[in-house]
């Protein structure tokens, strides 16, 4: 087995790559408006009621019509997953990993096709879509190797004593309910789903309602890779209608959720109550929101800092859990950094994500659009508007990259996750004060520090309380295996997707000791 290596990103300046991508984009654009079923026990199920997936860049354009699961479907999906668990849990880790290796190879061959659908369904720029697809490939390559390694080395880590044969195995948990968000509709869905199945669990997957088409297309890859029927059930549906039902179900062994703090806390609470007939304590694996800061010290490379802030705040219109929404700048360099960030931001162009002339695209849907605009109105009362401050073209859900200066560290826009292209600047007296401000939210996901001062970097290393801390670089763009990803406090259950311990959460260790 060759060692894991992250999937390289596509160089769109290469004419052949550009052409190959454009062809896939055209192909996808010619295949819009199709119907996509649920899949339960490998069987396709159509429903009368549909989820309509729209292109956020062109509201009028329908990407596809997805079947919409009812509670009855959710019940059938749970029963199927439980039935199939009995055989899948007993397959070898190498066999299960084999499905992931094959799925990764298929996705690699069809990389541009998937990225094209991400551009259309999620409003990602081609580079952002390419990174999403690459990350999905990485998760499969990484978790497949990790499962094999865990299986083959766990017993060797035990202390051996004479006269006994001792064996430690990581066995599956059971049926997992997997609930991903729309913002990494491929990578995060793939990560949580394939971590589950490679560990021997079976899955009921409820994708995000704004991105069901990409979920269905990935399900087809799993089938092509040889995944047996019923290992994953795909049931798009309303969180309110089937979400609680799945979480509360007595056969649910764990919930793997990535999404907002609000929904995550609800699931955490529901999952902690035992249902009649339930035999286990449900596990909650949660990756939640963020309110991420970049701190700039007085002796930092200010140009690098300004560029890092702009990329972290506005790529994909700020719709990343890791996006920078707080720029905390030490007093001496505050005006200089602010001025440069505003200048760079004013140069950003906003428009149709499929058009490479635009730097950033839309936000995901009407609900997000209205919510972000409301936050911008709040910001107008809390800071000095420097640029943006309202909608872009009305053809899609476009919002101009918005910066507020001189915002109090305790302002609403500095504390609540906005999940859009809104950045607040706040002035710190000195570096220590900057770190205090950086730690003043209930989240703890990502953060970055720009400084050339070694003792300040070391202070940040120990005091800046976030799961992913970056020095002298942007705070977005974690790579599987290289930057294991996940946050503290209200940002989640302190685990690391794409890290060496991730699969432990999807397994339970069993010890067998035999007297010789």
Given the rule CB under 6 A, which residues bind ligand NAD? 179-184, 188, 206, 208-209, 239-240, 243-244, 247, 258-260, 263, 266-267, 287-290, 321, 417, 419, 445, 486-487, 491-492
Q: What is the DSSP letter of 404?
A: E
Q: What is the DSSP letter of 35?
A: E
Helix, strand or coil, per DSSP, at residue 36: strand
State the nearest-atom distance from the C-beta of 369 to ligand NAD, in Å.
13
State the nearest-atom distance from the C-beta of 209 to ligand NAD, in Å.
5
Going edge to edge, which strands form the sheet with 324-330? 384-387, 402-405, 422-428, 324-330, 292-296, 446-450, 468-471
CB burial of residue 46 (10 Å; 0-12, 13-18, 19+): exposed
**Closer residue to ligand NAD (CB): 76 or 365:** 365
**Closer residue to ligand NAD (CB): 321 or 342:** 321
| Separation in Å, CA 349 to CA 9, 118, 127, 392, 398 | 23, 20, 15, 10, 11
State the nearest-atom distance from the C-beta of 322 to ligand NAD, in Å.
8
Residue number of the CB closest to ligand NAD reads 243
Please provide the DSSP assignment of 280-335 as one string.
Answer: SPPEEEEE----EEEEE-TTS-HHHHHHHHHHHHHGGGG-STT-EEEEEEEHHHHH
Select from 194, 210, 211 the least CA-distant residue to 202: 194
State the nearest-atom distance from the C-beta of 432 to ligand NAD, in Å.
28
- In angstroms, the CA 142 to CA 101 distance is 9
**Closer residue to ligand NAD (CB): 221 or 288:** 288
State the nearest-atom distance from the C-beta of 346 to ligand NAD, in Å.
26
State the nearest-atom distance from the C-beta of 458 to ligand NAD, in Å.
26
- In angstroms, the CA 94 to CA 179 distance is 26
**Closer residue to ligand NAD (CB): 184 or 464:** 184
Q: In the annotation, is 321 catalytic?
A: yes
Catalytic residue among 76, 141, 287, 417: 287
Q: Are strands 422-428 and 324-330 parallel, antiparallel or unpaired?
A: parallel
**Closer residue to ligand NAD (CB): 491 or 507:** 491
- In angstroms, the CA 245 to CA 271 distance is 11
Catalytic residue among 128, 321, 324, 475: 321
**Closer residue to ligand NAD (CB): 198 or 270:** 270
Please provide the DSSP assignment of 56-105 as one string.
Answer: TTEEEEEEEEEE---HHHHHHHHHHHHHHHHHHTTS-HHHHHHHHHHHHH
Backbone conformation region of residue 123, classed left if phi is above 0, alpha if psi is from -120 to 50, else beta: left
Helix, strand or coil, per DSSP, at residue 125: coil
Start-to-end CA distance of the chain, whole Å, equals 34
Select from 390, 385, 435 the least CA-distant residue to 409: 435
**Closer residue to ligand NAD (CB): 64 or 492:** 492
- In angstroms, the CA 383 to CA 498 distance is 38
- Helix or strand (DSSP H, E) at 427: strand 422-428
Please name the residues in contact with 97: beta carbons below 8 A apart, sequence gap of 6 or more: 144, 145, 147, 148, 198
State the nearest-atom distance from the C-beta of 102 to ligand NAD, in Å.
26
**Closer residue to ligand NAD (CB): 107 or 445:** 445
Q: In the annotation, is 287 catalytic?
A: yes
State the nearest-atom distance from the C-beta of 368 to ligand NAD, in Å.
7
**Closer residue to ligand NAD (CB): 60 or 240:** 240
State the nearest-atom distance from the C-beta of 493 to ligand NAD, in Å.
10
| Separation in Å, CA 508 to CA 169, 172, 183, 261, 339 | 8, 6, 30, 26, 53
Catalytically annotated residues: 287, 321
């Amino acid at each position: 087995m060759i060692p894991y290596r992250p999937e390289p990103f596509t160089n769109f300046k290469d004419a052949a790559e550009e052409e190959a991508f454009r062809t896939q984009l055209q192909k996808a654009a010619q295949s819009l408006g199709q119907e996509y079923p649920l899949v339960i026990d490998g069987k396709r199920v159509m429903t009368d009621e549909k989820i309509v997936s729209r292109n956020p860049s062109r509201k009028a354009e329908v990407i596809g019509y997805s079947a919409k699961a009812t509670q009855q479907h959710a019940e059938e999906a749970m029963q199927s997953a439980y039935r199939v668990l009995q055989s899948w849990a007993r397959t070898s880790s190498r066999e299960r990993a084999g499905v992931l290796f094959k799925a990764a190879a298929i996705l690699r061959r069809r990389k541009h096709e998937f990225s094209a659908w991400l551009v259309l369904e999620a409003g990602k720029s081609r580079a952002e879509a390419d990174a999403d697809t690459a990350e999905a490939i990485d998760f499969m390559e990484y978790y497949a190797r990790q499962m094999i390694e865990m299986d083959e080395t766990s017993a060797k880590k035990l202390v051996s004593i004479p006269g006994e044969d001792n064996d430690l195995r990581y066995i599956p948990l059971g049926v997992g309910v997997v609930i991903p968000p729309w913002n990494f509709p491929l990578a995060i869905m793939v990560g949580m789903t394939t971590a589950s199945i490679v560990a021997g669990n079976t899955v009921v997957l409820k994708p995000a309602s704004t991105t069901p088409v990409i979920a269905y297309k990935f399900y087809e890859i799993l089938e092509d890779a040889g995944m047996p029927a019923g290992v994953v059930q795909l049931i798009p549906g309303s969180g309110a209608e089937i979400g609680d039902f799945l979480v509360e179900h007595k056969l649910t062994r764990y919930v793997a959720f990535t999404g907002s703090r609000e929904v995550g806390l609800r699931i955490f609470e529901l999952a902690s109550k035992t249902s009649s007939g339930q035999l286990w304590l449900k596990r909650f694996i949660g990756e939640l929101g963020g309110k991420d800061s970049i701190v700039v010290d007085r002796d930092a490379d200010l140009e690098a800092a300004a560029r890092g802030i702009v990329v972290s705040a506005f790529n994909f219109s700020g719709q990343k859990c890791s996006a920078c929404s707080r720029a905390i700048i030490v007093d001496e360099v505050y005006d200089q950094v602010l001025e440069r960030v505003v200048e760079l931001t004013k140069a950003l162009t906003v428009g149709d994500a499929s058009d490479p002339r635009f730097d950033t695209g839309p936000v995901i849907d009407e609900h997000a659009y209205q919510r972000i605009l409301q936050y911008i109105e709040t910001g107008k009362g809390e800071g000095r508007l420097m640029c943006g401050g309202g909608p872009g073209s009305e053809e899609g859900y476009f919002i101009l990259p918005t910066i507020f200066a001189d915002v109090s560290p305790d302002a609403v826009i500095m504390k609540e996750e906005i999940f859009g292209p809104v950045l607040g600047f706040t002035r710190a007296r000195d570096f220590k004060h900057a770190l205090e401000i950086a730690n003043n939210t209930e989240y703890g996901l990502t953060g970055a520090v720009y400084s050339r001062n070694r003792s300040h970097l070391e202070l940040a290393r120990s005091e800046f309380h976030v799961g992913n801390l970056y020095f002298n670089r942007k705070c977005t763009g974690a790579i599987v295996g290289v930057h294991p990803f996940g946050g503290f406090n209200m940002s989640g259950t302190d685990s690391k997707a794409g890290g060496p311990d991730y699969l432990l959460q999807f397994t339970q260790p069993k010890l067998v000791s035999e007297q010789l």
